[in-house]
Amino acid sequence: MKSVLVGEDICVIISGGDKPHIGCVTLSVPTISLSGKEAYSSTTSVLNLVGHKDDELARYASSLISSRLNKTVVVTCGVHVDNITAQEIDIVIGIVHELIDNQYQF
């Protein structure tokens, strides 16, 4: 995972496995949360390539980072592991969520 500042905005690249690629791109824009607690949430748009499942990771990362940092965030995500099992997919998702949570926590 790599993050790049683009002015005040952030671009994050999540890639890996046997064939890194661009499978999904998300754009998250921070908004004032409806909770009324002076917190932020985000609105996220998703562009996903047909047949790719990278949107779950991209949406999670984009929305979380945008709402935590109150910044516009773009995430491009492409992780491919040959012959991956359902259990291994769950492991990859857990690892990426943990990396994002730890890197953008405060």
The CATH number of whichever domain residue 57 belongs to comes to 3.30.230
Burial class (CB in 10 A: 0-12, 13-18, 19+), 8: exposed
Helices (H), the chain: 55-69, 86-103
Q: Which of 20, 1, 13 is nearest to 102 (CA)?
A: 1
Total domains in the fold of the chain: 1
Give φ, ψ of 36 to 5 degrees. Answer: 75, 15
Are the CB atoms for 19 and 80 separated by under 8 Å?
yes
pLDDT in tens, 30-69: 998 777 677 788 999 999 999 888 999 999 999 999 999 9
Domain carrying residue 42: 2-103
Mean pLDDT of 87-96: 93
